[in-house]
Amino acid sequence: ADLADAARAAVEGLPVEVTVWDEDALRAGGFGGILGVGQGSARPPRLVRL
């Protein structure tokens, strides 16, 4: 979630929409690759779209 928080902070006050997918959203969206790689991390996987 650190990257997601940093992305939100970086665009605060700008006309930029931030969308963050958590593990449930990644699973529902078919992002198995991100989930698989995320298993090797101490932090949960996230996908951030700006």
pLDDT digits (tens, 9 = 90+) for 1-50: 588 999 999 999 999 999 999 999 999 999 999 999 999 999 999 999 99
The dihedral built from the CA positions of residue 11, 39, 31 and 25, taken in this order, carries a sign that is: negative
* Alpha helix ranges (H) inside 1-50: 2-10, 23-28, 32-38
Give the pLDDT of residue 35: 97
Give the pLDDT of residue 3: 87
Tokens 């700006």 belong to 50
- Full-model pTM: 0.81
Range of the domain at 39: 2-49
Domain tally, the chain: 1
